Structure 1
């Protein structure tokens, strides 16, 4: 039961040391609806559909392709409020270890004259 119906508002505000504008501000905030409610639900479905691998840029592109025009900053802010982060993918194993083994010496050192194909005479 609200005390406002039983007592005057002035009496309640002075007793609780709340300004009148603050009271009406909080009352308005409680009644206001979330304007991004539908978009938040879409972000959650896209995020879980792709197993958490989509970041805010990919989700923004997906929403724009579906006809919902929204910028990436808004998607990033909504994802932070929802507690969603993209997962870092495990890197694929690569067996390349760099220069391995012996490198042949450069005998020609770019000083050659070719009289015919496949015949190099080294100039000294």
Structure 2
């Protein structure tokens, strides 16, 4: 009776946070219950599935999720080295550069594995992209207008010739004209 109440409380607590907890969260909670209460997986899953108020999980799905959780536990040494390289280069290395660095250090690892582990650890490189210089030139548009001034900017009377020039200044996060 005590164990059923503990199971109901733990799994019910998962249900209150969201509409339906993810299967990964359920598998993690079942593992915690196994260690706390020293019960079998079959018993815990039977109690969960017998209660209509709790989310259901099949045994096969539980074992699939636990295998998925354990997948990266053997990569702890590699994960530590990835984090060292990432911090050593001040968070400017993405997975491609870290993969190259690991290959130079004689690690036999796939770039997709490096990318997955970095995503799992929440390591994202700071990207600094150069902004392209603004150009309003679209190519030849229609007829080329004749040069009426012929580079003679001197006017005999005021308001005879009006000219304009647009200069663009790039500052930190803005443009000035």
Q: So what's the TM-score if we normalise by structure 2?
A: 0.39
Out of 47, 50, 67, the position equivalent to 1:15 is 47
Residue 36 and residue 19 in structure 1: after superposition, are their counterparts in 2 closer, same or farther (change >3 A)?
Answer: same
Question: In the alignment, is residue 4 of structure 1 matched against residue 43 of structure 2?
Answer: no
State how far apart, in whole Å, the 1-side matches of 2:45 and 2:120 are: 33
- Between Structure 1 and Structure 2, how many residues are aligned? 89
2:122 aligns to what? 83
Residue 57 and residue 30 in structure 1: after superposition, are their counterparts in 2 closer, same or farther (change >3 A)?
Answer: closer
State how far apart, in whole Å, the 2-side matches of 1:72 and 1:27 are: 24
Question: In the alignment, is residue 49 of structure 1 matched against residue 49 of structure 2?
Answer: no
Residue 29 and residue 87 in structure 1: after superposition, are their counterparts in 2 closer, same or farther (change >3 A)?
Answer: same
State how far apart, in whole Å, the 1-side matches of 2:99 and 2:64 are: 32
Residue 48 and residue 11 in structure 1: after superposition, are their counterparts in 2 closer, same or farther (change >3 A)?
Answer: closer
Q: So what's the TM-score if we normalise by structure 1?
A: 0.54
Question: In the alignment, is residue 59 of structure 1 matched against residue 91 of structure 2?
Answer: no
State how far apart, in whole Å, the 1-side matches of 2:42 and 2:118 are: 41
SS of 2:73 mapped into structure 1: coil
Structure 1 position 28, deviation (Å)? 5.5
State how far apart, in whole Å, the 1-side matches of 2:69 and 2:121 are: 21
State how far apart, in whole Å, the 1-side matches of 2:44 and 2:95 are: 46
| CA RMSD between the two structures | 3.5
- Work out which of the two has the higher radius of gyration on C-alpha atoms and give 1 or 2: 1
Q: Which runs of 5+ in 1 are unaligned?
A: 95-124
